[in-house]
A and B are shown apart, each in its own frame.
Chain A
């Protein structure tokens, strides 16, 4: 089996340099992945499927990941000369930068023909999380993505173009939200037990604005 760098280089040679990026995985599993550009993704997938040296004929797992907008605070230290003539002052300026979020689709590919033991992971990212959430469907290449892409559409809201039957699969059709997104607020239709456990207690307080006395003897001590 070729290494991921070799696969990347071959994709670059065939489809252009801007179509693929290698994303390293810092964890101990060292399962690195290839980030594909959406417009070329289906051709690259077809290439991975058909190439005689790779023959990734089996897409095991397709799933979505939500990456919400992230606020990154950067601290820049600059030195300014003191107008009074003293030593230079060090001024820290904090800049807040919003790293735009995206929705991501991850595919784990194996080769049954060559019996590969490690997955080749490809991923695609949408432009943002709100309106530009289309990605090309890989169902025409691997049929196993059919239900899984429907599930991603249902739970994350990624719209797969070219999917033969893109409907909600787990939730009912009238449902409007995408519940696996990180900012989804579910129907709060259950009462939390007022146990003294940090976050649980906070939510319990929302349900019990005036908590009945002697619910937790510990808190009175």
Chain B
């Protein structure tokens, strides 16, 4: 290797190796979990050990969105827009109970009951808020996913396939709720949603 060494590897492997060890998360804070995300970036937990310390303020430069905190219906169009603006390949970690399912605020009228109704999610990190170690574990799961991702075939990432879209529709503000209330391509209600009147 040191003189005229030749390293034989597959293209997919070196491609995945490269991107798994240099993740640029989006600097994006929604609520309580954002403080824990900052702690992860700080000296004690130090996300830099995993090659993901460069938090970018611009979605164009980021490839990992850490959805940290309660997504409200008023915030949702911005969140989906940020996700659309991120360049592929991109991944999404949902951090905490609120973003996964609404969490303690699930019964709120202005709370999105899980961001997976609008954008695709790769890793869910439970907790309210999750410990920093849990977020690091989530990041390692993302890295694992990146390393094992084939570049061809039906399991190939979105942006290599023709049958998928990378743009997700941005809902609009309606008179009582978001329109549409969920992205029907990503999420199907387990039972028909009943609008009960009083």
Contacts and interface: CB of A to CB of B under 8 A. Distances in A.
A186 B109 contact: yes
Contacts of B74: 170-172
Contacts of B173: 172-175
A174 B197 contact: no
Nearest to B101: A190
Interface residues of A, number: 22
Given A172-B173, A189-B177, A207-B191, A179 B196 contact: no
A188 B191 contact: no
Contacts of A208: 191
A221 interface: no
A185 B102 contact: no
Interface string B181-198: 110000001111111111
Main secondary structure of the interface of A (DSSP, over half): loop
B87 to A, nearest CB: 29
Nearest to A185: B198
Given A174-B174, A191-B190, A208-B191, A179 B198 contact: no
25 contacts: A170-B110, A171-B110, A172-B173, A173-B173, A174-B175, A175-B173, A176-B175, A176-B176, A179-B109, A184-B109, A185-B196, A185-B197, A187-B109, A187-B177, A188-B194, A188-B195, A188-B196, A189-B182, A190-B102, A190-B106, A191-B189, A206-B194, A206-B196, A207-B191, A207-B193
Interface of B: 73-74, 102, 106-110, 113, 173-177, 181-182, 189-198
Interface of A: 170-177, 179, 183-191, 206-209
